[in-house]
Structure 1
Amino acid sequence: MIMADKGDDMQKGLKALIVLIILIILTGCAEVSTEVETPAADLTTQATTQDH
């Protein structure tokens, strides 16, 4: 890989993580929303922190 592509890879990874979080939230809402919401919110906070 070229060094300049690292930023793009990070964005792709972040987008994949966000999609995963959305899927977790949707699955959680279908099953037990209260148990899944808190970890999903924590993951979102971590992703936002890493982005900056």
Structure 2
Amino acid sequence: MSVLPTAHRLQVLPAREWHLLAPQGKPAWPWLLTMLIFLVLITYVPAITLTLPGLLGM
């Protein structure tokens, strides 16, 4: 079984090199937080999932 080189490097990345990945992941936090908020809303507010198809004509 072959493993992609990038995935292999991330799995064996030493702790002293994690600071190199932080600048790349930092810009993603606003997007991840936004997606998490919408996921919680859609999951726990049933009116959204029941009303939206009707508004779209489905």
Compute the TM-score of the two structures, normalised by the length of structure 1: 0.40
Going by fraction, where is helix more abundant, 1 or 2? 1
- TM (norm. structure 2) is 0.37
Larger radius of gyration: 2
